[in-house]
Amino acid sequence: MTSTDEPPTVRTRLAVDPEGSQGTSIASWDLLLAVMGAPHSNEMVSTTFRLVEAVLARGGRAQVWACGYATALTSTGLGAHKPRNIVEWNRTYPSTSALVSELLDRGGDAVAWSVCRFCSDERGVTDHIAKVSVRAPLRFGGHVTESKRTLFLGVI
């Protein structure tokens, strides 16, 4: 794994620690997308990217929490490109890992991508790209607390 349950960031601590925030919730993220569904059965993944991009374009901050098979989106095993397309032999298509990596590089501290450790381990997705945080399931509540709005996309 590239990242484990590191101590909460200052932002997170402010959001969940009553002593630090005097009991007041501080929402430092505009949007939390909880991506729960199997990633390739519909357009959920492209919709996720489009939503995050649109929020960033308006100066907002968006974070993603991937659960279930959506944890596989950031697996290092996917490599940088999808397998070669036999009908578009000379074109390369980025993997979802590459897309997330590029999104995180471009978005800076305005975007974050976390994955559920339980769901990852249960599915054998044990190695994620850099900058993706692997979090214990119980951490999800903190992500909700620090976000103004939470949307669930798909079901496990």
Q: Which stretches of the chain bind another protein, using CB under 8 A?
A: 30-31, 42-44, 47, 50-51, 53-55, 57-58, 60, 148-149, 151-154
Start-to-end Cα distance in the chain: 22
**Nearer Cβ to another protein, position 50 or 81?**
50
DSSP assignment letter at 77: G
The H-or-E segment that residue 54 falls in is helix 44-57
Tokens in use for 154?
Answer: 């798909």
| Distance in Å, CB of 123 to another protein, minimum | 22
| Beta carbon of residue 130, minimum distance to another protein (angstroms, whole number) | 27
Min. distance of Cβ 3 from another protein in angstroms? 27
Q: Which is nearer to another protein, 36 or 134 (CB)?
A: 36
Supply φ then ψ for residue 110, to 5 degrees. Answer: -90, 0
How far is Cα 38 from Cα 155, in angstroms, rounded to an integer?
Answer: 8
Structure tokens at 140: 């999800």
- Give least dist CB 145 to another protein, A: 16
- Residue placing its CB nearer to another protein in the complex, 112 or 134: 112
Residue number with CB closer to another protein (81 or 149): 149
Give me 15's structure tokens.
Answer: 């959001």
Alpha-carbon distance of 121 to 127, in angstroms, equals 9
